[in-house]
C-alpha cells in the first residue's frame, strides 16, 4: 500500500485530496442543517440537500484551487492554507445563499410537515463548519501522509547542489514526500552563506559542520560543469562518513519514490574525462597467444590489470614485483 501511494503522480495525489474535500463539503452542508433542524427533517429533505450539495461542490473546489489550496500536498498549517480556508468558507456561504435564493428551495419541517423557507443562520453555520472540517481533514491527511511517506532510514538528510536547484529540491521534497532537509551544501559562492527555509547553505569544504549534523544521506542534485571542479566536489563528498545518492529531480513527471528518485553514485562522474569505449574484439585479437610482461603486478593497478588480461586467450603472463608478498597475493 505504501509503495502504491508513493508511486502516484502529483496530479493523482491532488485528485485524492479533492475527493476528500468533496466529502467534507457535503458533510458540512448536512451538519449545518442538522444543527438547526432535527434528524427527521434531514431525512425528509435528503433529496433536496443532495441536489444543493451537487451544485455547491464544483464552486467550492474551484475556489480552493484558485486560492492555492492544492499547491502543497503534504505541508499544512501554514498561513497560505489558513488564508485559503477562510476565503473559501466565506465565499461558500454566499454561494449557498445564491443557490437557495435563485433555486427557490423550500424545506419541510418534520414536526409540522409544512413547507418553510431556509433558516437564515444556516449559511453562516455552513461556513463555520466547512472551515473547521477542512482544517481538521488536512491535519488528518498530514498524519496519514507522515505514516506513509516518512522513512526514518533517510533522516537526517542533506542536499548538495551547484545551482539554484537547492531551493526547488527542498520545496519538492517537503511538499511531496515530507522530507525535511537538515543541511544545504554548495561549492558556489552565490549560495554559500545564504539561507534557505531558515537553514544556512554551508561550504562543501567545511567538513566539521557537515560531520556535526550526523547526516545519513546527502542527495546530490547537480555538479559543477567544469570537470576539475566536479572531481574535487565528488572527492569531498565521498570522503564524508555518510551515504551519497544522486537525486533525479524532475517534479513534472511521475517519479517512483523508492526505485528511481534516489540513485547510487555513478562511477562515470568520478572521472575527469569522458568514458572510453573499449573495442574488446580488437583487444582480444591483439592479445591472442601473446606473452605479456606486467611490471609492478602486485600493486592495486597492476594486480587488476593481470586479472583483466587473464580473461583473454594469452599464451603466458609474467608478473614482475619487487615485494614477494604482493606478487604472491596477485598469483593467488
Q: pLDDT value at position 44?
A: 82
Same domain for 223 and 250, yes or no, is yes
Q: pLDDT value at position 256?
A: 41
Same domain for 167 and 252, yes or no, is yes
Please classify residue 56 by burial: count the beta carbons closer than 10 Å to its beta carbon, then call 0-12 exposed, 13-18 middle and 19+ buried: buried
| Count of Cβ atoms closer than 10 Å to residue 298 Cβ | 21
User: Distance between CA 4 and CA 222 in Å, rounded?
Assistant: 28
Contact between residue 313 and residue 292 where contact means Cβ atoms under 8 Å apart? no
In a domain, 300, yes or no: yes
In a domain, 100, yes or no: yes
CATH number of the domain that 208 lies in?
Answer: 3.40.50.720
Same domain for 17 and 134, yes or no, is yes
Q: pLDDT value at position 238?
A: 78
In a domain, 164, yes or no: yes
In a domain, 275, yes or no: no
Same domain for 123 and 203, yes or no, is no
In a domain, 260, yes or no: yes
**CA dist list (Å): 181 to 56, 129, 225, 237, 277:** 40, 36, 25, 17, 39
Q: pLDDT value at position 300?
A: 77
What cell numbers appear for 282 in the block?
A: 580488437
Same domain for 263 and 300, yes or no, is no
Contact between residue 186 and residue 192 where contact means Cβ atoms under 8 Å apart? yes
Residue where a domain stops, chosen among 106, 125, 149:
149
Same domain for 10 and 100, yes or no, is yes
Task: Supply the range of the domain harboring residue 326.
Answer: 280-331
Residue where a domain stops, chosen among 89, 121, 149:
149
Same domain for 73 and 134, yes or no, is yes
Residue where a domain stops, chosen among 270, 288, 312:
270
Same domain for 144 and 157, yes or no, is no
Q: pLDDT value at position 259?
A: 40
| Count: domains in the chain | 3
Same domain for 7 and 144, yes or no, is yes
Same domain for 287 and 224, yes or no, is no
Contact between residue 107 and residue 137 where contact means Cβ atoms under 8 Å apart? no
Same domain for 6 and 145, yes or no, is yes
Q: pLDDT value at position 20?
A: 87
In a domain, 194, yes or no: yes
Q: pLDDT value at position 280?
A: 82
Same domain for 181 and 84, yes or no, is no
Q: pLDDT value at position 26?
A: 92
pLDDT in tens, the chain (332 residues): 455 555 566 677 788 888 989 999 999 999 988 888 778 878 888 888 888 899 999 999 999 888 888 776 555 555 667 888 889 899 999 998 888 878 777 777 765 555 555 567 888 899 999 999 988 887 777 666 656 555 555 567 788 888 777 777 777 766 655 566 788 888 888 888 888 777 888 888 888 878 787 787 888 888 787 777 887 888 888 778 788 877 766 554 444 444 444 454 455 544 555 667 778 888 888 989 999 998 888 887 888 888 888 888 899 988 888 776 656 555 55
User: Distance between CA 180 and CA 198 in Å, rounded?
Assistant: 12
Contact between residue 256 and residue 280 where contact means Cβ atoms under 8 Å apart? no
User: Distance between CA 180 and CA 186 in Å, rounded?
Assistant: 17
Amino acid at each position: 500500500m505504501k509503495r502504491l501511494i508513493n508511486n502516484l503522480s502529483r496530479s493523482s495525489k491532488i485528485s485524492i485530496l479533492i475527493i476528500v474535500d468533496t466529502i467534507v463539503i457535503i458533510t458540512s452542508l448536512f451538519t449545518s442543517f442538522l444543527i438547526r433542524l432535527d434528524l427527521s427533517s434531514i431525512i425528509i429533505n435528503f433529496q433536496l440537500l443532495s441536489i444543493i450539495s451537487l451544485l455547491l461542490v464544483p464552486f467550492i473546489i474551484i475556489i480552493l484551487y484558485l486560492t492555492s489550496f492544492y499547491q502543497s500536498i503534504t505541508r499544512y498549517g501554514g498561513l497560505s492554507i489558513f488564508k485559503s480556508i477562510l476565503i473559501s468558507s466565506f465565499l461558500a456561504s454566499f454561494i449557498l445563499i445564491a443557490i437557495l435564493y435563485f433555486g427557490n428551495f423550500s424545506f419541510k419541517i418534520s414536526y409540522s410537515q409544512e413547507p418553510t423557507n431556509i433558516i437564515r443562520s444556516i449559511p453562516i453555520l455552513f461556513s463555520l463548519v466547512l472551515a473547521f472540517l477542512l482544517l481538521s481533514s488536512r491535519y488528518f491527511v498530514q498524519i496519514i501522509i507522515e505514516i506513509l511517506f516518512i522513512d526514518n532510514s533517510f533522516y537526517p538528510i542533506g542536499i548538495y547542489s551547484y545551482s539554484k536547484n537547492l531551493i526547488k529540491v527542498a520545496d519538492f521534497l517537503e511538499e511531496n514526500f515530507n522530507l525535511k532537509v537538515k543541511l544545504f551544501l554548495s561549492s558556489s559562492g552565490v549560495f554559500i552563506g545564504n539561507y534557505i527555509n531558515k537553514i544556512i547553505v554551508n561550504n562543501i569544504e567545511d567538513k566539521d559542520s557537515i560531520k556535526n549534523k550526523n547526516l545519513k544521506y546527502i542527495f546530490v542534485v547537480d555538479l559543477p560543469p567544469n570537470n576539475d571542479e566536479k572531481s574535487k566536489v565528488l572527492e569531498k563528498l565521498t570522503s564524508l562518513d555518510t551515504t551519497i545518492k544522486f537525486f533525479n529531480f524532475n517534479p513534472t513527471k511521475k517519479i517512483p519514490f523508492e526505485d528511481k528518485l534516489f540513485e547510487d553514485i555513478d562511477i562515470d562522474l568520478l572521472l575527469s574525462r569522458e568514458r572510453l569505449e573499449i573495442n574488446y574484439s580488437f583487444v582480444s585479437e591483439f592479445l591472442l597467444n601473446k606473452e605479456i610482461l606486467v611490471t609492478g603486478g602486485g600493486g592495486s593497478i597492476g594486480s587488476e590489470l593481470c586479472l583483466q588480461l587473464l580473461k583473454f586467450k594469452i599464451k603466458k603472463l609474467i608478473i614482475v614485483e619487487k615485494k614477494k608478498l604482493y606478487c604472491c597475493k596477485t598469483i593467488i
